[in-house]
Structure 1
Amino acid sequence: MPDITRVLVIDDHPLFRRGVCQLLELESGYAVVGEAASGQEGIARARELDPDLILLDLNMKGMNGLETLRTMRDHEIDARIIILTVSNAPEDLIAAIRAGSDGYILKDNDPADMLSLIGNVMKGQNAISPELTSLLATALRQESVVDSRNAANLTERETAILKCLAVGKSNKLIARELDIMESTVKVHIRNLLKKLKFRSRVEAAVWAVANQIH
């Protein structure tokens, strides 16, 4: 976790956006480097500022949060991206994770809990509002495509890395534990996601826990 986490906040509600910025500014270790009121503006600001963390609203007018998230990942913006939303619908949660989000936090969470979850993401752990975790696991188990996935197709090294993802370890921690380069970890993660047909490491981690691969 960097000494100072540089944050970009993207939300089309000025009052909530300002509240999130003020919450972070009161915490040591965070610096809000930018704000944006739309998806298009957020993408431009992300490319300009190269933040460590992006807090992204899901339901925005025009370009919504999912479209913004997918575009950012397509442009290889590698900041940690957390969805902040009022939606507790499993389909929104799954869509966000598959689009490449690192976390999904409900806006009505207690501020202290929100900060704790944000901190988890910056430590390389998964951050999903606790009340949604079981919903996600259930939804993934109910999909037929999940049943067709088989971790036996993974190499021994990929399986070891999947187990590390399941307990929320960052690439740096995985590299240290397995005594390999961090760049090698990234290659293995990309390969295992492709084999298991996942689009994000968080989705893979939740699936691994649901299938007791940890």
Structure 2
Amino acid sequence: MWQIWTISALKTIIILIKLRRYSMPEVTPFQVLIVDDHPLMRRGIRQLLELDPAFHVVAEAGDGASAIDLANRIEPDLILLDLNMKGLSGLDTLNALRRDGVTAQIIILTVSDSASDIYALIDAGADGYLLKDSDPEVLLEAIRKGANGGKVFSDRVNEYLRERERFGAQEDPFSILTERELDVLHELAQGLSNKQIASVLNISEQTVKVHIRNLLRKLNVRSRVAATILFLQTRGIQ
């Protein structure tokens, strides 16, 4: 959940920003588009950014379709994009923005620290992945770095990225699965139901459920959809 920022924390941020004003020349603020389907979240993000003169929020969008339209019309410098939204997901929205040639820095701002979500969004072209439960001063500094062209990730996200690098350098991430679990995952990735998988592999539907539960745990993902995405990105359908 989005943490409630204390008055003292916000005062600290204001002081730091005032000190920065005296040490840095004035620059044109980054034009920001906030995309989140929760009005309260959009308000909180806007209020945080308005503490820093480096940012100017030019528009807000409550869904992916509106975000795509706004991004193409106003051409913001920075887009802060939620992941789990009604209608188009953050991933679908990101893919559409990149297909349209939107060149803004796009930072994912979400509560999800799922490995599959992180890999999917970064592979799709996100310039950063920040968690909403970050301290406000840390979050603001990361957004500023991202707006300036840097790649920004929360600490937990960096852990997953380092883990994937180790997997890529040393072994197949699916090597921890049994042969039968791989069979189930392969059929799952083709869109088959539990009943259909049971029929193809000549096992019971209950056994399929057990294999799915085990492979989700081993892959550290939360859903069969997430497991499918990870499988397709790594191996594809063979």
Q: TM-score, normalised by structure 1?
A: 0.65
1:8-66 superposed Cα distances (whole Å, 9 cap, x missing partner): 00000110111101111121111000000000000001011100000000000110000
Instruction: Report the equivalent of 2:213.
Output: none
CA contact (8 A) 1:90 1:139 kept: no
Does the CA contact (< 8 Å) of 1:5 and 1:29 recur in 2? yes
User: Which stretches of structure 1, 4 residues or more, deviate above 6 A after TM superposition?
Assistant: 144-147
User: Any conservation in 1 of the 2:105–2:149 contact (CA below 8 Å)?
Assistant: no
TM-score scaled by structure 2?
A: 0.59
Once the two structures are TM-superposed, the CA of residue 3 in structure 1 deviates from its matched residue by: 2.4
Deviations 1:70-96 (A, max 9, x none): 000000000000000001111111111
Q: Is the 8 A contact 1:140 1:146 kept in 2?
A: no
Cα distance in 2 for partners of 1:127, 1:27 equals 18
Alignment of structure 1 residues 177-188 onto 2, 5 Å: none
Aligned to 1:79: 104
Cα 1:91–1:143 change in 2 (3 A) is: farther
CA distance in 2, matches of 1:68, 1:128: 19
Give the secondary structure class of the aligned counterpart of 2:130.
Answer: strand
Which residue among 44, 47, 51 is the counterpart of 1:22? 47
Please show how residues 21-60 of structure 1 align to structure 2 within 5 Å.
21-60=46-85
Describe the SS at the equivalent of 2:71: helix
For structure 1, list consecutive stretches of 5 or more residues without a partner in the other structure. 148-214
Q: How many residues align?
A: 147
Map of 1:92 onto structure 2: 117
Question: What letter corresponds to residue 105 of structure 2 in structure 1?
Answer: R
Code of the residue aligned with 2:51 in structure 1: it is L
**Percentage of matched positions with identical amino acids:** 46
Gaps of 5+ in 2: 1-26, 173-238
1:67 deviates by 0.3
- Alpha-carbon shift at residue 145 of structure 1 (Å): 10
1:104 aligns with 2:129: yes
**SS at structure 1 position matched to 2:109:** strand
Within a 5 Å distance, the mapping from 1:131-146 to structure 2 comes to 131-143=156-168
Rg bigger for which structure? 2
Trace 1:55-74 onto structure 2 (pairs within 5 A).
55-74=80-99
Q: For 2:96, what is the secondary structure of its paired residue?
A: helix
Distance 2:126 2:50 in 1: 23
Q: CA RMSD in A?
A: 2.0
Counterpart-to-counterpart distance in 2, 1:37 and 1:141: 37
CA deviations 1:167-193 (Å, max 9, x no partner) are xxxxxxxxxxxxxxxxxxxxxxxxxxx
